[in-house]
């Protein structure tokens, strides 16, 4: 790692933090971890862990987390400027996004002091991975229907049930687990959240192969799993509010770099076209020019939405249902872009340039993954329902 100036302090301002982040990232991101580089290779889990740990050491993670728990105690402004620089580079996605973006914030909100000191520093230092146990076979986006049961027995809880589409379960050390203490008829009442060690007896992880051939998802079975009461996150009836808080964070503030990463992907696509005589003519085609123009305007709109969200949160506004607007927009926008990119790179042939060959592989994978973007973190249909009922106040019988 190259030596650079010291991490700017809180009084330095967001511009200083932006310049520092830009210099550090460009100086230290390994070439083989840049997906827009012809020398790219898929980094291992250990390589990703070490990279993210170095980012934390450089002050580029945990910006808004309190210092007492390992963070830097800065504002969302610094968080956003770092995210812009992260998005501008074709670097790997975080292998600890659930810990940093979901488990960490919820522990800060409803966890005890002991839990905060136990979990938060280890998440930032990349010592623990987390998975999110929310979705179930009969309750995907409708958490009010979940059935995984937690029964209190003295100072312990006995958990039985099943979760599905659990990202990263095979590598996780802990599960942010949402359970029910009553019956399904209770709907939003009686939901309880736990931090469950994944090596607890009775937990079984069954990998699921996705359309891109990877096994990043899993079914997780809980068969008479016993956890101490100290694993409980919040009060027994606080699970619903905690879950909604998690989903609001996930939909509105997580991975703020998305718009700038889409920008990076568009540059990668255009560079691949310019590098190859079989594709360069597509940039002069009226159809593709219009489609690319649409993408540029959508990226700019998403950037504006993110900037506005940060400005509102900086003055104390709550995200609430407005997180669904952000989630709906970025997922639909990127899914459409991935379709456009695939139609362009489909023109690549064995005689095309190395950069074009690399782009075809990258955007084919991106297209397959993008099919899930309108499903995870709440489906498009769920987001539209939330927007209609909680923002537009439309009657349910329309």
Which of residues 185, 205, 235 is at a domain's end?
235
pLDDT for the residue numbered 249: 62
282 and 363 co-located in one domain: yes
Q: How much of the chain is in helix, strand and coil states, percent to nearest 5?
A: 50, 15, 35
Residue 9, pLDDT > 80, answer: no
40 and 148 co-located in one domain: no
261 and 201 co-located in one domain: no
Establish if 115 belongs to a structural domain. no
226 and 290 co-located in one domain: no
Instruction: Name 102's Cβ contacts closer than 8 Å, sequence gap at least 6.
Output: 130, 132, 176, 246, 249, 250, 254
196 and 267 co-located in one domain: no
Instruction: Name 395's Cβ contacts closer than 8 Å, sequence gap at least 6.
Output: none
Of the pLDDT bands very low, low, confident and very high (cuts 50, 70, 90), residue 142 is confident
How far is the C-alpha of 278 from the C-alpha of 272, rounded, in Å?
10
Residue 353, pLDDT > 60, answer: yes
How many separate domains does the chain show?
3
pLDDT per position as a tens digit, 124-136: 999 999 999 999 9
More confident residue, 9 or 180: 180
Lowest mean pLDDT among 4-8, 39-43, 364-368: 4-8
Which of residues 95, 117, 145 is at a domain's end?
95
User: Coil, strand or helix: which one is 66?
Assistant: coil
pLDDT per position as a tens digit, 250-303: 566 677 899 999 999 999 999 999 999 888 999 999 999 999 999 999 999 999
φ, ψ of residue 133 in degrees (nearest 5): -95, 80
Percent of the chain at pLDDT > 90 equals 60
229 and 275 co-located in one domain: no
CATH number at residue 184: 2.40.110.10
Mean per-residue pLDDT over the chain, rounded:
90
Average pLDDT rounded to a whole number, residues 320-324: 78
pLDDT for the residue numbered 133: 94
pLDDT per position as a tens digit, 57-78: 999 999 999 999 999 999 888 9
pTM for this entry: 0.90
pLDDT per position as a tens digit, 268-280: 999 999 999 888 9
CATH number at residue 23: 1.10.540.10
261 and 364 co-located in one domain: yes
137 and 90 co-located in one domain: no
Percent of the chain at pLDDT > 70 equals 94
292 and 386 co-located in one domain: yes
More confident residue, 350 or 54: 54
pLDDT for the residue numbered 290: 96
Residues paired with residue 161 on neighbouring β-strands, in sequence order:
222
Instruction: Name 193's Cβ contacts closer than 8 Å, sequence gap at least 6.
Output: 106, 110, 176, 177, 178, 179, 232, 233, 234, 238, 239, 242, 243
Of the pLDDT bands very low, low, confident and very high (cuts 50, 70, 90), residue 13 is confident
Which of residues 235, 268, 292 is at a domain's end?
235
- Domain that includes residue 287, residue range: 257-391
Residue 321, pLDDT > 80, answer: no
Establish if 125 belongs to a structural domain. no
Establish if 123 belongs to a structural domain. no
373 and 276 co-located in one domain: yes
């Amino acid at each position: 790692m190259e030596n650079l100036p010291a991490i700017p302090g809180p009084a330095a301002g967001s511009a200083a933090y932006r310049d520092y982040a830009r210099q550090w990232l460009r100086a230290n991101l390994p070439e083989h971890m840049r997906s827009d580089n012809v020398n790219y290779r898929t980094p291992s889990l250990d390589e990703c862990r070490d990279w993210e740990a170095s980012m934390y050491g450089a002050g580029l993670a945990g910006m808004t987390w309190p210092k007492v728990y390992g963070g830097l105690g800065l504002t969302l402004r610094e968080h956003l400027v770092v995210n812009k620089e992260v998005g501008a580079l074709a670097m790997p996605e975080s292998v600890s996004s659930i810990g940093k973006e979901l488990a960490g914030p919820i522990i800060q909100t409803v966890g005890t002091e002991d839990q905060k000191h136990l979990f938060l520093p280890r998440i930032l230092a990349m010592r623990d991975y987390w998975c999110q146990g929310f979705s179930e076979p009969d309750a995907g986006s409708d958490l009010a229907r979940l059935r995984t049961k937690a029964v209190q027995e003295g100072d312990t809880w006995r958990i039985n049930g099943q979760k599905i589409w659990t990202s990263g379960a095979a590598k996780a050390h802990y599960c942010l687990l949402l359970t029910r203490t009553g019956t399904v008829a209770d709907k939003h009442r009686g939901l309880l959240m736990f931090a469950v060690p994944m090596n607890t007896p009775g937990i079984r992880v069954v990998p699921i192969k996705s359309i891109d051939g990877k096994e990043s998802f899993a079914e997780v079975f809980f068969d008479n799993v016993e956890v101490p009461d100290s694993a409980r996150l919040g009060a027994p009836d606080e699970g619903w509010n905690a879950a909604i808080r998690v989903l609001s964070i996930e939909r509105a503030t997580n991975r703020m770099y998305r718009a700038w990463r889409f920008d990076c992907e568009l540059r990668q696509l255009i560079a691949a076209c310019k590098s190859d005589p079989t594709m360069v003519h597509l940039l002069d085609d009226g159809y593709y020019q219009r489609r690319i123009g649409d993408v540029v305007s959508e990226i700019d709109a998403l950037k504006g939405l993110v900037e506005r969200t940060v400005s509102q949160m900086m003055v104390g506004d709550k995200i609430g249902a407005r997180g669904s607007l952000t989630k709906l927009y970025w997922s639909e926008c990127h899914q459409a872009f991935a379709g456009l990119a695939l139609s362009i790179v489909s023109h690549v042939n064995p005689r095309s340039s190395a950069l074009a060959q690399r782009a075809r592989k990258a955007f084919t994978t991106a297209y397959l993954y993008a099919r899930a973007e309108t499903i995870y973190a709440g489906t498009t249909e769920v987001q539209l329902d939330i927007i209609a009922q909680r923002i537009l106040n439309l009657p349910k019988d329309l």
